[in-house]
A and B are shown apart, each in its own frame.
Chain A
């Protein structure tokens, strides 16, 4: 069970948009619409930002959006703000007994 592939880091200036990719296989990301995204500020509990590829939980800013094409899912953050600086993880349902996370992406707001 290999981790999903994410870029190690991305950066952007306040107000800009960034996209974080999450690449898997047709046994996980490509095979099911159960991709979720988590924001993790070190030392705090991870926070669910997106579930079922595109859905935002109540209370999550509409600046966060998700999509998927083939075996790659993406998280887009528009109108970057300083408080968006965090680690982001994707996760997917898999054909194996348990889900899988991506390797994580560190977002830096310049």
Chain B
């Protein structure tokens, strides 16, 4: 059974760096064809792809946020970490991590999400 859970601060101040951790079980991020992605949803708005990391350590980022995002994996800990620098109130959102299958290019298992508020 695949499960994912996001953890991190619920609130950050403008200009600070956000660090979110996705802890997962039921799969290995060293398995070919597997990835973990980060998706966010600002309040009342649509889902947005942020970043994906694949089993072979290939990393892809949302072009408009590429300079601010870093995604890394720790296969031994079954964790994926997303950092986002220079946070702004517009980055207030629920952040989800999800298991991705490259062959279908879709997210088949999602975490429950964590709401991050950016406010001074």
Give residues in A with beta carbon < 8 Å to B: 1, 3, 32, 34, 36, 38, 40, 44-48, 51-52, 55, 57, 89, 91, 93, 96-104
**Interchain CB contact under 8 A, A36 and B111:** no
The 9 closest A-B pairs by CB, nearest first: A36-B106, A45-B110, A34-B105, A51-B106, A51-B104, A101-B47, A97-B60, A104-B46, A93-B105
Range of interface residues on B (Cβ < 8 Å): 20 to 34
Q: Chain B 90-120 against A: per-residue CB contact (8 Å), 1 yes, 0 no?
A: 0000001010000011111011110000000
Shortest distance from the beta carbon of A31 to any chain B beta carbon, whole Å: 12
Shortest distance from the beta carbon of A91 to any chain B beta carbon, whole Å: 7
Majority DSSP secondary structure for residues of B touching A: strand
Q: Which of A46, A52, A101 is the one whose CB lies under 8 Å from B48?
A: A101
A45 and B49 contact, Cβ closer than 8 Å, known pairs A34-B104, A98-B63: no
Report which residue of B51, B106, B110, B113 has the largest number of chain A beta carbons within 10 angstroms of its beta carbon: B106
Instruction: Tell me if B62 is interfacial: C-beta within 8 Å of chain A.
Output: yes
Chain A residue with the shortest CB-CB distance to B112: A45
Q: Which of B48, B52, B96 is the one whose CB lies under 8 Å from A45?
A: B96
**Interchain CB contact under 8 A, A46 and B63:** no
Q: Which of B60, B105, B110 is the one whose CB lies under 8 Å from A46?
A: B110
Q: Which of B46, B60, B63, B112 is the one whose CB lies under 8 Å from A102?
A: B46
Chain B residues closer than 8 Å to A46, beta-carbon distance: 47, 96, 98, 107, 110
Shortest distance from the beta carbon of A2 to any chain B beta carbon, whole Å: 11
Q: Which of B61, B104, B106, B113 is the one whose CB lies under 8 Å from A98?
A: B61
Report which residue of B39, B48, B64, B107 has the largest number of chain A beta carbons within 10 angstroms of its beta carbon: B107
**Interchain CB contact under 8 A, B105 and A99:** yes
A52 and B46 contact, Cβ closer than 8 Å, known pairs A1-B63, A45-B96: no
CA of A30 to CA of B107, assembled, Å: 20
Chain B residues closer than 8 Å to A32, beta-carbon distance: 105
CA of A62 to CA of B111, assembled, Å: 25
